[in-house]
Amino acid sequence: MPPSDHLIYLHGRIVQDRQSLRPEHPEYGVYDMAGITGAFRERGFVVNASIRPKSTTVSEAADEVVAQVRQLLSSGVPPDRITIVGASMGAAIALRVSSRLGNRDVRFALLGPCISVSIPAMADEENAHPSGRILAVREESDIPSSDCATWPGKDVRFPGLHAREVVIDTGLDHGFLYRPIPEWFDPVVEWARAR
């Protein structure tokens, strides 16, 4: 029997600010964290997701996730069976985890960021390049996409880093990541399961 696929879900800022699994944004609607994590569980993932305390910084959250991943690895979970999914602020945390963890086989799915800007900026901030297998999904109508250069090519490989960007066009702006819509959810599941 193959090992289980583990997924750590890192929510957006609105969940942390409101301390709610279903906070409502006046423009984007309800952020359905329970629906998102439930959809991953329905696909067979062992999901770890919790609301970060309101005062937690990106750096503190990243350190906690690094510790979680290291615990999974020490318990025998293969690194390619671990995926960290970060939405908006959660994507910033996940990218920092990628730099701090330094494991080329752990998978990351980033929802929202412009990786042509985020990856070089993170390398400068952390004094270490991100590593692992990174899928970035951004929405064409989202504000961070407005000045974003497309990541060069479909797949980009640097030592220890394999990155791919998918640009979707749902017209939902930043609200695209508030629900498990197929446009982002299916590519993330496929990325997590690719061997």
SS3 string, the chain, reads: CCCCCEEEEECCHHHHHHCCCCCEECCCEECCHHHHHHHHHHCCCEEECCCCCCCCCHHHHHHHHHHHHHHHHHCCCCHHHEEEEEECHHHHHHHHHHHHHCCCCCEEEEECCCHHHHHHHHHHHHCCCCCEEEEEEEECCCHHHCCCCCCCCCEEEECCEEEEEEEECCCCHHHHHHCCCHHHHHHHHHHHHCC
pLDDT at 154 over 80: no
- What's the rounded mean pLDDT across residues 73-83? 97
pLDDT at 156 over 70: no
Between 40 and 113, the higher pLDDT residue: 40
- Percent of the chain at pLDDT > 70 equals 93
Whole-number pLDDT of residue 155: 67
Whole-number pLDDT of residue 158: 66
- What's the rounded mean pLDDT across residues 96-106? 95
- Most confident range (mean pLDDT) of 47-51, 115-119, 149-153 is 47-51
pLDDT digits (tens, 9 = 90+) for 115-136: 878 888 887 888 888 899 999 9
pTM of the model: 0.94
